[in-house]
Amino acid sequence: MDIFNLSSRELGLLIFLAQNRAAEREIEITTTQLANFFHISQQTASRCLLKLNKLEIVTWKSSPKGSLVKLTSDGVYMLDQLRLELEKALHPDLMSIKIRGTITTGKGEGKYYISQPGYMESFKKKLGFKPFLGTLNVKIKSDCIKQLELIRGSWPIIIENFENEERTFGKVLCYPLKIVGLDAKVVGIIPQRTHHPSNVLELISKLNLRDTLNLKDDDEIEIEFPLEYKRESD
Amino acid sequence: MDIFNLSSRELGLLIFLAQNRAAEREIEITTTQLANFFHISQQTASRCLLKLNKLEIVTWKSSPKGSLVKLTSDGVYMLDQLRLELEKALHPDLMSIKIRGTITTGKGEGKYYISQPGYMESFKKKLGFKPFLGTLNVKIKSDCIKQLELIRGSWPIIIENFENEERTFGKVLCYPLKIVGLDAKVVGIIPQRTHHPSNVLELISKLNLRDTLNLKDDDEIEIEFPLEYKRESD
DNA sequence: ATTACTATTTTGCGAGTAG
DNA sequence: TCTACTCGCAAAATAGTAA
């Protein structure tokens, strides 16, 4: 789903909802309120919500007393996506986004997840390499959080969800990156569920990054995200 | 003109043009190219450009050989505006934007301009105070340029253009700000012509800011731009 | 090749109203 | 009150084509 497939009304509605904190939690709202705000009819507001709901951009519970609306992670992604496009529009000379962060030690979850055969197969197929069984956790510096958000706005390589006997594993979003000073392919991974603001980015590579780069906790590295100037043609 | 009055097609077109550097200079493009990119008919692309041109969002010279298109300052403003709305959507808890900069000495132009009676009248009427005859020039730190762009995306108080016997004076855009640590009303002013990236913000106030705050060149100050959460109702 | 007019089709809005 | 249906009309898209 592409932000440019939404009508301007739907986009405006999405922004309005997010500004009213509907990205974090369900908010109460009536179609009449929306209609008044946007100077449209109540029917049109209703139709818009209906469509956003069908597109899985918002979840929506309607009742004769009003509506409860919340953005889905797809909805937030739409906004991130638009933000990246705008960034490229306002800074067409920008070739890459640079992010600084420090090495941190996770709870070993990353290793557990990427070791799952269901993921490993997809990694090999879609990323073109078999990742080292471990992730390098990078805590993004606070003044680079916006850059991380920009990366989220780009079209990721999607590692599909799957399930085994015990449980289900969600989708993983992958972003091809570079570590400044290292030539090897590196990929940032973000589990789809986690659209809550996380300031830790997990990196995978064919190599054991921690050893190769001889990194200790709190060491600082710089990550580079190359921008491409072709938009997905739907 | 409000960004939310554009159709999504027009918005997409505007972003596309800006991404192709049409904010800086005239670019060559044909309506057929646009039609292919957006998967619409050539006629619709033509009409979109026509409309953007009529709204003075782009300048457009068409000929049987193709078109030359360039964004106007209004066009860039549309994008800045959308960026601010998105910022508020993605960070609904943000109450203000903070910018750091250092004091610098201008060429005395600021004083010349704001002393013009044509401006002075408007300042008094629209800002509610008679500014001190001089501006405090603040060179924005490079890592705060984006915040300055966000301010440009807000709806300014507009001091109208006028002319006297000798020459014409353009519009001035005013943004109510705060200097951290000072209670007095302060206003950032940007001449409308200057939509070229300027990293200097001129501040005016009833007070002589330089003296009141006892500032020397290269001193650092922090500026705060309060965000409001009501959108203009057309 | 272009742009852009006219005719026709399609989409989408708002009014009225049922649940 | 709410949401959300149908219907009639208006706006906007496409196709064909002229310049």
- Pairwise CB contact (< 8 Å): A19 & B80: no
As averages over each run of 10 residues, the pLDDT of chain B (234 residues) reads 89 94 92 91 92 91 88 93 95 94 86 89 93 94 92 93 89 95 94 75 94 95 87 46
| Run of H or E residues at A145 | helix A145-152
What share of chain A in percent tops pLDDT 70? Answer: 96
How much is the pLDDT for A232? 47
Query: For the domain bounded by A95-226, which CATH number is listed?
Result: 2.40.30.30
For residue A108, name the pLDDT band (cuts at 50, 70, 90).
confident
Pick among B15, B71, B143, B149 to test the A interface (most A CBs inside 10 A): B15
Q: How far apart are the C-alpha atoms of A50 and A183, rounded to whole Å?
A: 47
Query: From 1.10.10.10, 2.20.25.160, 3.40.190.10, 1.20.810.10, which CATH number describes the A3-76 domain?
Result: 1.10.10.10
For residue B16, the chain A residues in CB contact (below 8 A) are 89, 231
Q: How far is CA A219 from CA A34, A100, A147, B164, in A?
A: 49, 11, 20, 62
B105 against A99, higher pLDDT? A99
Q: How far is B48 from chain A (nearest CA, A)?
A: 14
Q: Is the CB of A7 under 7 A from strand C?
A: yes
Mean pLDDT of A55-67: 90
Query: What are the boundaries of each domain within chain A?
Result: 3-76, 95-226
Phi, psi for residue A165 in degrees, rounded to 5: -60, -35
Would you say residue A230 has pLDDT above 70? no
Fold agreement (A3-76, A95-226): no
| Run of H or E residues at A159 | strand A157-159
Mean pLDDT of A66-70: 92
Residues 167-226 of A with CB under 7 A from strand D: none
How much is the pLDDT for A234? 39
> Nearest CB to B7: which of A8, A23, A82?
A8
> Nearest CB to A8: which of B11, B37, B39?
B11
How much is the pLDDT for B233? 43
| Cross-strand partners of B184 | none
**Chain A residues in contact with chain B using a Cβ-Cβ cutoff of 8 Å:** 4, 6-8, 10-12, 14-16, 18-21, 23-24, 37, 39, 76, 79-80, 82-83, 85-86, 88-90, 92, 143, 146, 149, 229, 231, 233-234
Mean pLDDT of A5-24: 94
Where do runs of H (alpha helix) occur along chain B? 8-19, 31-38, 42-54, 73-90, 109-115, 117-122, 145-152, 209-212
By three-state DSSP, how is residue A225 classified?
A: strand
Going by C-beta distance under 8 Å and a sequence separation of 6 or more, which residues neighbour residue B107? none
For residue B21, the chain A residues in CB contact (below 8 A) are 92
Would you say residue A10 has pLDDT above 90? yes
What does the block give as tokens for B134? 């001089």
